[in-house]
Amino acid sequence: MTSFRIRPKFQIHLEKDSSTVLDDLRKGLEAEGNPFDTVEWPGHLVLKIKKEKQHYWSPQLNLQFIEADKGTDVSGRYEPHHNVWTLFILCYLSLTIMALFIGIIGFSRLSLGMSASMLWGLPVLAGVAILLYFVSQLGQKLGAEETFDLHHFVERHTGKNIDIR
């Protein structure tokens, strides 16, 4: 399941209604001794690593159940905890805003015939963005075993072999 995507996902179709699928997952949790913490609301189930086993990069699996003509479509997304996700979004947003200001001021100075050496900040910011992407990939690899645990749990209790996109 190694993936270069920031948030790998899958979609499967099951020939059962959503309440039956949810019941199967709940029964699976009970049968396996509740290996994950869960958060549930209508049409959604989030499987999280138990608090005592969690680390900063621990993933969670967000499952969405959509009633279809003949059964239920289940969409799943592996994602970091919201704190991690928010941190990365804010970092990318900060880099984008800095690049925008450097670009506007630098190209304005360039068009006026003034020194625009500040434009060298753009490749530096691009390098930081690439570094940030690789840090997110490192975090994903550190949580890979837990991601596999979540993935295999859903495969066992839906009876489907699930391919990640």
Concatenated DSSP letters for 93-147?
HHHHHHHHHHHHHHHHHHHTTS--GGGGHHHHHHHHHHHHHHHHHHHHHHTHHHH
CA distance 37 to 162: 22
* Domain ranges, ordered by start, for the chain: 1-165
Cβ-Cβ contacts under 8 Å for 58 (sequence gap 6 or more):
48, 49, 80, 81, 143, 146
pTM of the full structure: 0.81
- Band (pLDDT 50/70/90 cuts) for residue 109 is very high
As beta bridge partners, residue 40 has: 45
Mean pLDDT of 78-97: 94
For residue 56, count CB atoms less than 10 angstroms from its CB and return exposed for 0-12, middle for 13-18, buried for 19 or more.
exposed
Q: What is the pLDDT of residue 150?
A: 95
Strand order in the sheet with 9-14: 9-14, 71-80, 59-68, 44-49, 36-41
CA distance 41 to 98: 39
Place of tokens 């020939």: 15
The structure tokens listed for 145 are: 């075993």
pLDDT digits (tens, 9 = 90+) for 11-39: 999 999 999 999 999 999 999 998 999 99
- Band (pLDDT 50/70/90 cuts) for residue 4 is low
- On the CB side of 51, CA atoms within 13 Å amount to 1
